[in-house]
Structure 1
């Protein structure tokens, strides 16, 4: 087996023992790290190799490959070709962007946009009529920045068949006027069950494969060598298996969670859990197993603060509050059944009350099913009580958080909706660290920018990538470079139950690593904003070169 020694580098291992966190060399044999340490130690360890080569990295910085621990791969791939609206500061800018897209492709059957912000619309209440002003005939579907709402025009409402008689799904709302007619906003499960399901039905397997190919290629270019997919569905499974059949592999390994939305029928929800178990076992016995693992179930417990759909302990500034999408009665039996089947449970919980319900469900599952190793996780945790953080530490529940969600450039509306001290107490990374809660940092692409280095910049500074001139949001929370890099790599592996195969530069693990032109451990954080990933390796194979 050929062995390559990589030398003359600053290698951050994310591995505290038996090696120091930083070494200067490592060797790769047959896709795995075969030696890690000083150059002399590495040369000695692999001296008996039949075919031996050395590669001088010229003093570059090496890290384990980034694991995006919360991603939506198909949505990300599709989003890359949608009209980008995150930087639009007003309705007029959004309208002009949509009009330009239509003029650029006048034969397109639909206009698809993504990442508009609520505070770009005066009053925060978008309507179909606003889009109709520039796109009166072609259907338009615009995903909100948080991907928890879809803003559509009248042509899209007609295309989907939404009328005043169309019911609100459990956990969702079709915004309506005083006459009961839809006004153009689909919140939470109304967006997924009406808009997204309709659009997905227009896609072929080839369309989904193209979206995944683009997502993988883009991720590799920014140093991502693994991901946890948080919205797996049947078309995506078919497309991933098609890629494995075509290429014999995926570009990098992924773990995946299947979303279950509440049906209102507990028996039906429990049947969905049984279906995930069958799929898990089927994939584990297939040719896709080395690259795709069905980890568990994803439960979107509430919405988002920007739309006042996250469930809070106290009302929003406007006096409203939101019921959880999965209330305690619905979620308890589903979590218990998933836990009993050995599935990992990932629960989206943004509001401080929602994360309490999520932990109640985990505790109930432990009582029902007895003690055993578990690695359940809560996603986002934007507003969270101190008591919840302490309970997470006690229960061994992982905190999966996304620094890019608190870029100061997108927080004005978030803080305004809360309207009190809670607006200055969000995203308390430091409290999780102090409590000893396992942390992983992802991006939630495409709800936020997918690039790991800007994500790392926000974790180190609490500053803005989108508008660097803005003051940071509570910099007392920030990570040290080593803490943040570990959370982006080894933390992602741990959260995804992949730590035995990747996430660290450590002997025996897959040689997934990246080469950067900046040393995040020593450089000023601002250097990350212009940094490049020079190379990305997956299982010892160079998959990207700048």
Structure 2
């Protein structure tokens, strides 16, 4: 029996390629695109038995491929106290009191997305601030960028941090003049102490629920694929349970395993062998349609907001931190990963960190030779030097960037920490385009809102999706609608070598598509704000439909 065929007509069909004019219809047979083009030709290809759906002129694109995601963290964040729009410490305290009152039996209170501009000049988060609101159970609050956590005294005790607890490589337990922890954990200290503690008190059922939350939230906003950027054993277990149960995922996921800097060459290199074995085992057990471990993730530096991103010149306060991965450890690790066929995803926010990232790529080419499917990528690139952009083009490195990270509403502290002309030179999308660098756009949720239409709005306008009265940040950087849509679909598929099956609406490709509620090709970008997908298709099946 042949698969059913559906013709979607009366639409603006963006194929994924910015240079190709939109079409008016497409046909899907089973899980594949059958034809795209004018209605008569598509109907001819579909045959007389095809059903038809009138889309009322709506924009149809390939399903959005989320270029940088933390799936389980997003799913968990959706259950936490939301702090992104809190403007004062007092407001944070009020929300924590309300959460405690609403859940008096909760063993802990978790929050997410507090911003550094809560604090006056020179002030930093402390446990005492949180103790005023909730002193009796642990309180653990993720920063907006997920590179630090703010905890109360009960959480410090639960985590086991005292005067003798050492700082991990690449991290800091902030302490007062007496040597006592203040309640602020930076970079790898947040991961190895705070996140590891939470992992120890999280059940399999919790993790499964978090993963379900993330898939549902993304499908609602038009996402039909994601690049997972913090993959580890907990994620592997949760994804495996889902695949064992259903034989598939709600959409394809390409994962980069998160590496840990230990400061020991042998321990570092041992991680690569283990990850390669896990990659091969996952491929044998589940195939490559739904989950692939495609590479490794290096977090080379921190973030500008906390003055932990690695810069060529000091911050306004004089700080000049080094990288989390020093070159002597980073380069041989990169070469080993590359030799094992693991692609590199390199978190680099500061301009010196992105220099190190390209040194790693260049070393891989020198030692292991050229390879067409290497496709290294640098994540974030919030402040990057012009010479680095030119090197990226020459080395074939993808720029993986997140428009929601430069929403003007979250840039006040970012600009203050730089304090000079660098504050006006961030996120230079236009320079990457001019240099011919491949671009892949995502959100890095939950460090920022996960909604694809709002992310697209910022890419098109440089304006704020959070505070409409904010002036745009350096609007000369903006994308055209076609450029942005390509970078959110075909560009992200290219970065993971899925561009032969995803990222296009073309015959033979997997039928992953989204019908937008607003059309930025013909409407003002503001129409995108706050919208969700009208229809999300994964392998031809309806994965989300807006209820009118």
Measured against the shorter chain, the TM-score band is: over 0.9
- 1:448-470, Cα deviation, whole Å (9 max, x unpaired): 00001010000000000110111
1:509 match: secondary structure: coil
Query: TM-score w.r.t. structure 2 length?
Result: 0.98
**Secondary structure of the structure 2 residue equivalent to 1:357:** helix
Of residues 9, 12, 15, the one that matches 2:14 is 12
Aligned to 1:144: 143
Q: Which residue of 1 aligns with 2:185?
A: 186
Q: Residue 69 of structure 1 contacts residue 496 of structure 1 at CA under 8 Å; is this kept in 2?
A: no
Question: Aligned partners of 1:422, 1:160: CA distance in 2, in Å?
Answer: 38
The equivalent residue for 1:59 is 57
How far does the alpha carbon of each residue in 1:280-306 deviate from its partner, in whole angstroms, 9 at most, with x for none?
111111135321000100000000000
Question: Does the 8 A contact of 2:307 with 2:315 survive in 1?
Answer: yes
Query: How big is the shift at 1:45?
Result: 2.2
| 1:478 to 1:259, Cα distance in 2 relative to 1, 3 A | same
**Partner SS, residue 26 of structure 2:** strand
The residue number in structure 2 matching 1:493 is: 493
Partners of 1:62 and 1:146 in 2: how far apart? 32
Q: Which residue of structure 2 lines up, in the alignment, with residue 523 of structure 1?
A: 523
Tell me what 1:407 maps to: 407
Report if aligned partners of 1:441, 1:487 keep a CA contact under 8 Å in 2: yes
Find out whether 1:471 has 2:461 as its counterpart: no
In structure 2, distance between residues paired with 1:154 and 1:488: 42
Of 151-160 and 51-60, the range deviating more from structure 2: 51-60
Could you give the per-residue CA deviations for residues 54-75 of structure 1, whole angstroms, max 9, x where no partner exists?
2222222111111111000000
Describe the superposition over 1:391-426 as per-residue Cα deviations: whole angstroms up to 9, x where unpaired: 000000000000000000000000000000000000
**Runs of 4+ deviating beyond 4 Å:** none
In 2, Cα distance between the equivalents of 1:518 and 1:177?
51
Give 1:36-435 correspondences, 5 Å limit. 36-47=36-47, 51-123=49-121, 124-287=123-286, 289-373=288-372, 374-435=374-435
CA contact (8 A) 2:126 2:183 kept: yes
- Report deviation, 1:530: 4.2
Q: Are the equivalent residues in 1 in contact too, given 2:68–2:228 (CA < 8 A)?
A: yes
Q: Is the 8 A contact 1:304 1:350 kept in 2?
A: yes
> 3-state SS of the aligned residue for 2:237?
helix
Q: TM-score, normalised by structure 1?
A: 0.98
Aligned to 1:454: 454
Q: Distance in 1 between matches of 2:482 and 2:363?
A: 36
The root-mean-square deviation of aligned C-alpha atoms, in Å, is 1.1
Structure 1 stretches of 5 or more lacking a match?
none
Q: Any gaps of 5 or more consecutive residues in structure 2?
A: none
Aligned length: 542
The 2-side partners of 1:13 and 1:493 are apart by 13
C-alpha separation between the residues in 1 aligned to 2:18 and 2:172? 49
- 2:127/2:151 contact within 8 Å kept: yes
* Distance of 1:544 and 1:387 partners within structure 2: 44
Native 8 Å contact 1:15 1:505 kept in 2: no
Say if 2:220 and 2:532, in contact at 8 Å, map to a contact too: no
How far apart are 1:241 and its partner, in Å? 1.2
- Match of residue 510 from structure 2: 510
Cα distance in 1, alignment partners of residues 519 and 415 from structure 2: 34
